[in-house]
Structure 1
Amino acid sequence: MSIMKQLKEFTIPFVGLKQGKHHFEYQIDNAFFEHFEYEDFNDSSVKVDVIFNKKETLLELNFKISGFLNINCDITNEAYNQEISNEFNLIVKFGEEFNDEEIDILILPHGEYEINIQQYIYEYIVLSIPTKRIHPGVEDGTLDSEILKKLEELSPKLKENKEDEEETDPRWNTLKKLLTDK
């Protein structure tokens, strides 16, 4: 994790928790992403449910993410709400030194008494965005956009008549005749 200031509400002091499952709920909006200097979203409203299971020698965290991110379409640049829904697991073990090289395993040094999960929430939300951001109106044809009209104009037209497709060089016709004249 970076040296970024940790937001207190995302720090879980697990040393005081009893063994078993504990539920944490977070409502994420743009202020959260501004903290990470990430300004890709016009707006956001994401609910994060965390089931924190404290076991004798390790911690299990299950993150459930649901909500929307208002982002711009890659094709038209029109803003739209992208629904997101995802689930991630994180195992926290204890060892000699801090290690977060594995995507789903975190090793905290022995003696740690709290964990801050803001970086994980941030990464899990960003990973939930489809790689291609396409306005639903582009896919179903309901979006009325100048950019789409221009793209339509510039795209090569498909030939509608199959016979046109088979139009060949007339010199081949003589050769074709040889095949059929047997």
Structure 2
Amino acid sequence: MKKLRDYEIGIDRLANKRHYYEFELGDAFFDLFGKELIQGGKLLAKVELDKTESLLTFHFDIKGHVRLVCDRSLDEFDHPVDIDQTFRIKYGEENAELDDDLWQITPNTQVISIAQHLYDYIGLSLPMKKLHPRFVEEADDEEEDNDQDILIYSSRKGAETDGEEDDDDDDEDDVDPRWNALRNLN
């Protein structure tokens, strides 16, 4: 069984250049994080690390599929995943998360674990509504039907009720008198 240690990159001895890593993410990887969100899957994560004196840039390219549970039928299905993300780490006085994709670490940090980043990127790529592929076409048809029943709101009184438009002069009469007072402030 894989452990989180298998997804660590030792940065203390790396030269200042590009380094390439590959990680196979299978059921054992998702077992490390529980199965609430993702039941399992088979993915290949290619990680490019560009190390400089002051910055580490991780480029994640993750492709494959994950096994999800359908929200409607509770059937498991495979969902394709194709992720392209970048994450940066800079050196500083203390360990801190400066932004979603920018961290700060101390210069004496020896190892970076990317397991949580891999899992988070996969989780963020999933749809909010997890539907088995057999239901996706039905959902698309329902959305098209809903698009045809669009309610258009108009604040004009008597707006095109019998196909005729009101004159612009009538609009000025219907305006709240407070707005007319503001127009005179020029």
CA contact under 8 A between 2:16 and 2:51: conserved in structure 1? yes
Partner of 2:84: 87
Partner of 1:23: 20
Q: How big is the shift at 1:62?
A: 0.4
Relative to structure 1, the CA distance from residue 114 to residue 37 in structure 2 (aligned partners, 3 Å threshold; closer, same or farther) is same
* SS of equivalent residue, structure 1 residue 131: coil
Partner of 1:105: 102
Q: How big is the shift at 1:41?
A: 3.0
Partner of 2:70: 73
Q: How big is the shift at 1:101?
A: 4.8
Structure 1 unmatched ranges of 5 or more: 1-5, 142-157, 159-182
CA contact under 8 A between 1:33 and 1:39: conserved in structure 2? no
Percent identity reads 27
CA contact under 8 A between 2:87 and 2:102: conserved in structure 1? yes
The 1-side partners of 2:63 and 2:39 are apart by 17
CA contact under 8 A between 2:98 and 2:104: conserved in structure 1? no
TM-score when scaled to structure 2? 0.68
* SS of equivalent residue, structure 2 residue 96: coil
Partner of 2:31: 34
* SS of equivalent residue, structure 1 residue 22: strand
- Give the total of aligned pairs: 139
The 2-side partners of 1:36 and 1:136 are apart by 25
TM-score when scaled to structure 1? 0.69
Instruction: Return 32-41 or 73-82, whichever deviates more.
Output: 32-41
Instruction: Return 32-41 or 96-105, whichever deviates more.
Output: 32-41
Give 1:10's aligned amino acid.
Y
Partner of 1:63: 60
* SS of equivalent residue, structure 2 residue 97: coil
Give 2:10's aligned amino acid.
P
RMSD: 2.2
- Per-residue CA shift, 1:31-51, capped at 9, x if unaligned? 112212334333311111100
* SS of equivalent residue, structure 2 residue 72: coil
Structure 2 unmatched ranges of 5 or more: 139-144, 146-186
The 1-side partners of 2:51 and 2:122 are apart by 24
Q: How big is the shift at 1:86?
A: 1.0
The 1-side partners of 2:122 and 2:91 are apart by 26
